Structures are given as structure tokens and as C-alpha cells.
Amino acid sequence: MCVRRADSEAKKGLIAVITVIVIIAFAFAGYNFYRYPAMFRNLSDNSLSDSQVEEVRNEILSGSDIKVLVAYFSYTGTTGSIADAIREKTGGDLFEITPQNGYSNVYAESKSEIRGNERPALTDTVENMEEYDIVFVGYPVWWHATPAPINTFLESYDLTGKLIIPFCTSGGSDIDETMPTFLNSCDGLAVYGERRINGTSQLDAWLSELGLTGEIRQSQPKQEETAVQDTVPEAVQEESTKILELENLPAYNYQQQEIELDNQGQRIYGIAYIPDTENEKVPLVVCAHGLGGSYRSNEAYAEQLASHGIAAYCFDFRGGGGSRSDGDTTEMSVMTEVSDLEVIIEAAAEWNFVDENKIVLLGTSQGGITSAIAAARHTDEVSGLVLMYPAFLVSDAVHEQFDSIEEVPDSFRFNWITAGRPYVEDMWDYDVYEEIGNYTEKVLLMHGSADGIVPLSYSDRAAETYEDVEYYVIDGAGHGFSGSDFDEAVRYIFNYLQEIGII
Ligand SMILES: Cc1cc2nc3c(=O)[nH]c(=O)nc-3n(C[C@H](O)[C@H](O)[C@H](O)COP(=O)(O)O)c2cc1C
């Protein structure tokens, strides 16, 4: 009798465990279904093998008069600027991939297209596609996948025998995430050298790695080959009553070093870009990424800084979206990111290559609002503040999404990330403009006139709030600076760093 009761207890226990496992499995599947619309699609990859791609590539590159097409889809202009720069460097032709119907609710419509494996109709066709040998295909990462118009484009032509080179821009996702959906439309094609590009400064190195030589590549010295001048940063500072143009600043080689920090038992992962200055301490710019970004989001700025004698630290916020730091996006908020910056500012002052009196914060989008708050709380330690399209709208955005704080679920969709209650709670009653003005040193503020994510009015108001601010509206730039917009922003940054005596 006793034995039978024990048996039935064990059975009940087993059923309970199985039920919990099934619930967890469903929750996990549901989460991924939402976040990765391409995840449950049957994706095949029938593109050519590496050795076959190599054959196609050798054949094309050994020929003369190689013809290049740079085809791109761009929703807010970022990928378009990169495509244009590639066109210029390769001497190719440019083609914009434009969906006929456009997007009235881009987040919902793009996701449903990707999930449904749709092929939205395009407005134009490349009439002379057969003439091209190399086709660059550029796009923004959408939902960790390729936007559906890219699949329409790839499947609209016979691209056999051409070298297909994908490139993307994104808020942080790498191009690898998009390759399954890209390759799904590449049966029998030679796909080669894919790369996420977040600044035109990366283009020469990438094109050179691709082996695109002669006619189709303008030869530029690689970073390692840059002539290193003997001048050290102090020498620049002595001359710095007049502002030097970027090309007249001394050039440096630099190294990258992984540096991990601890914030409340959780890891912050980052990479420091350290100029070779023979052990002399250098200024440091801490580069804070935007929503869903990663330590790679601002690497193009870090490369520019380091190659001109200024160290940079690019990192993943905890739960910020990048995968190298600890924490989940549902635990992240603007304030947890401010706390990460505080840990970095304190630690960096002790790094042996850093001049602790020259620590500057640079933030893009959400990294902008966090940098602005951290600077206001650490006026003595922060010697400069560079804000690019800062997301001063976060408080308004969460109020727009929820009527009351009580209705906020444990996790919910916020733009392209899954956020959690802390994200809303920390910003619900917070007025950023009341705090940021406490930073009274000179601030550099930049915003694109065509920013489709953070309206310009948020920076207009910040410009009025700061006591001393240099404010540039970059004409035609979107949320993220690329191409000539990136170059313009870099120029402003170096002028500003000279004006405030950092270099
Ligand atoms: C609908 C939508 C989905 C997005 N999904 C992602 C994503 O999964 N990962 C990411 O890093 N960025 C994502 N982004 C950001 C864009 O990839 C990024 O801003 C890109 O540089 C924009 O390029 P464009 O200006 O050429 O459109 C998304 C943007 C939109 C509008």
C-alpha cells in the first residue's frame, strides 16, 4: 500500500517537472519567435563552396575591365552613404533597391515580411545586369536578418558567375546574423567577403582584404603602414592655440587590448584602442553605444581617435544588446548604463596608458543620454562630452508606449530589443533636462537633420540647456553618421578636442 502511494507521488512530481519544462520551452520559443522573425523559417544555403567561390573570384579578378555594381537598400540613409562611398572607391555604378509600397509602420511590416518569407515588389530593375562582374549588396540589419526587399532583388536576376559581396549597417548586430536569410536567396551564387561597415574609414582596409585591386580600387596605405610621426600628443598641445585639421595631426599606430571590468558582480567587456606613444599617458575617450548596440558600434570613431594619439574604450553595456558583457536586456535601463559608465570612469583613471585629467565621454543615441547623465554626475572627472544624436527622448518614448507604470509587463518590445520593467521604471519620472545642465564644461552636440528615430527637437532643447555647447546639425544625416556625415562628425570631434585642450 505504502509503496503504491510513493509511486503515485513520484508520478505527480514527474508530471510537474515535465509541465514546467514544456512551459519554459514554449516561453523560449515565443520569445525567439518575436525577436528573430526568421528563426523558424526553413532556410537553405545552396550558395557555392569556398573553393568554388575562390575560382569565380580568381577568374573575375584576372580579367580586365571589371565592372562593379553597388546595389543597396536603405531606410534612413545610413547604408546609402556607405554604398555611395563604395561606388566612389570602386568606380562602380550605384543602384537603389526600392520597395514599391514603402513602409508606413516599418517595425511591424518589416517583421511580418521576414517572418512570412515575403518578396515585396520593387520599383526598378537593373536593365544591364549581365554586364556586371561584381555586385555589392548593401542593407540595414532588420530583426537580425536581411530586409525582405534584398531577397526580392537577389532572386530577380541570374547572378551566376558574378561575385556577390554583401555589406550591412546596423545598430550593433553583426552581418553574420543576417547571412542565413541572405544565403537563402543565393542558390548557385558566389557570395564573398561579407562585412558590417559602420564608417567609411573601414572601407579601404576591407576592399584591400577583398583583393580588389587595380581598376576597381583606389590604393590607400593600410593603417599599419601609416607613417608614424615622432611628435607626441604634448607637442600638439603646445601648438594648439590654432586648430589643426585632421590630416595635419600626427598619426600613430595603435594596439587593441581587451579590458574587462566588474559592476555589481557582472562583467563589462570592452576593447581599448591604445596609441603607440612609448609609454606616454594619453587622453581617453570612452565610447558608449546605443540601444541594442555593442562594443563594435563606435569602433570607427575609436580607430580615428587612436590613430591620432587618443586612446578609446569601446565596450558592451551590461544587458545592452551586445553579447560579451553580462546581463540581460530586460534588466538594462538608462540608469544601469550610467552606472556602467561610472565604473569605467573610475577604473580608467588608473589605467597605465590614460591621462586621468583627460577623460572624455562620447555617446551615440542611447549612449548619448547615458554619457550626458554620467558627465553631469562626475563633472570633476569628465573633461569633455561628445553627444551624437543623443536619445533624450527615452522618457517620452516609454510614456508613449504605456499609460501607467503598473501596466508595464516584465518584458516587452522596445524598438528592436526586448526591454524589461527597469527600463521604464528608471525613466518614468525622470527629467533628463533638469540634470544634464549640471555639466558646465563645453559640450559637443551633433544631430542629423533627417534623423527618423530621435527628432532634432530633443537636441535643440539640450543645446538650450547646456551653458557652453557647440551644436552642429548635420544636413541630411540620419540616426547614425556614415560616409561624408561620419567624416564631418570626426572633424568636429577633433576640433572640439583641441579647443578644450585634450590634444
Ligand atoms: C525595422 C528595423 C529593425 C532593426 N533591427 C535591427 C537589428 O536587429 N539589429 C541591429 O543592430 N539594428 C537594427 N536596426 C537598426 C538598423 O540596422 C540601423 O539603424 C541601420 O544602420 C539603418 O540603416 P539605413 O539608414 O540604411 O536604413 C533596425 C532598424 C529598423 C528600422
- Last residue in a domain, options 190, 216, 242: 216
pLDDT digits (tens, 9 = 90+) for 468-501: 999 999 988 888 887 788 889 999 999 999 999 9
Neighbour-count burial of 481, counting CB atoms closer than 10 A to its CB (0-12 exposed, 13-18 middle, 19+ buried) = buried
Cell for 453?
528615430
Cβ(79) – ligand 1 distance below 6 Å: yes
How much distance in Å is there from the Cα of 35 to the middle of ligand 1? Answer: 13
Residue 322 lies in a domain: yes
Q: At residue 40, does pLDDT exceed 70? A: no
Determine which residue's CA is closest to atom 4 belonging to ligand 1: 142
Cα distance from N-terminal residue to C-terminal residue, the chain: 86
Q: Kindly report, residue by residue over 315-345, the tens digit of the pLDDT.
A: 999 998 767 899 999 999 999 999 999 999 9
What pLDDT, in 10s, does the model give residues 257-296?
A: 999 999 999 999 999 999 999 889 999 999 999 998 888 8
User: According to the model, what pLDDT value does residue 6 have?
Assistant: 65
C-alpha radius of gyration, the chain, whole number: 25
Residues 6+ apart with CB under 8 A from 339: 263, 264
Does some domain include residue 22?
no
Asked if 119 and 191 sit in the same domain, the reply is: yes
480: Cα separation from own chain's centroid: 8
Question: Quick check: 134 and 165 in contact, CB under 8 A?
Answer: yes
CATH number of the domain that 189 lies in? 3.40.50.360
pLDDT of residue 172: 80
Could you identify the atom of ligand 1 that is nearest to the CA of residue 74?
26
pLDDT tens-place string over residues 157-194: 999 999 999 999 988 888 999 999 999 999 999 999 99
- 8, part of any domain: no
- Residue nearest to ligand 1 atom 12, measured at CA: 171
- Of 189, 216, 243, which one is at a domain's C-terminal end? 216
Do residue 176 and residue 248 come from a single domain?
no
**pTM listed for this prediction:** 0.62
The residues, ordered by sequence, that sit 6+ positions from 369 with a Cβ below 8 Å of its Cβ are 334, 363, 390, 391, 392, 394, 432
Structure confidence at residue 167 (pLDDT) = 97
Contacts of 40 (CB under 8 A, 6+ apart): 32, 33
Q: Which atom of ligand 1 is nearest to the CA of 76?
A: 25
* Domain shared by 186 and 82, yes or no: yes
Within-domain flag for 222: no
Residue after which a domain boundary falls, among 216, 240, 256: 216
Best mutation site among 416, 417, 418 for ligand 1 pocket (most ligand atoms within 8 Å of CB): 416
The answer as to whether 339 is a domain residue is: yes
Residue 433 lies in a domain: yes
User: Do 317 and 240 share a structural domain?
Assistant: yes
Q: In the prediction, which pLDDT does 12 show?
A: 84
- Report the C-alpha gap between 203 and 85 in whole angstroms: 8
pLDDT of residue 145: 95
Task: Extract the C-alpha cell encoding 184.
Answer: 537563402
Amino acid residing at 280:
E
| Chain centroid, CA 239 distance in Å | 35
Which residues form the domain of 454? 229-499
Decide if pLDDT at 122 tops 50.
yes
95 close to 70: Cβ distance less than 8 angstroms: yes
Instruction: Give yes or no for a contact between 466 and 397, defined as CB atoms under 8 angstroms apart.
Output: no
Q: Find the CATH number of the domain harbouring 389.
A: 3.40.50.1820
Neighbours of 19 (CB within 10 A): 10
37 band by pLDDT with thresholds 50, 70 and 90: confident
pLDDT score recorded for residue 4: 60
How many distinct structural domains can be found in the chain? Answer: 2
Q: What is the mean pLDDT of the chain?
A: 88
What distance in Å separates the CA atoms of residue 423 and residue 396, rounded to the nearest whole number?
12
Residue 250 shares a structural domain with residue 203: no
Amino acid at 312: A
- CA dist 274 and 202 (Å) reads 18
Considering the domain architecture, whether residues 337 and 359 belong to the same structural domain is answered as: yes
Does 243 share its domain with 356? yes
Q: Which atom of ligand 1 is nearest to the CA of 107?
A: 1
Residue 416 Cβ contacting ligand 1 at under 6 Å = yes
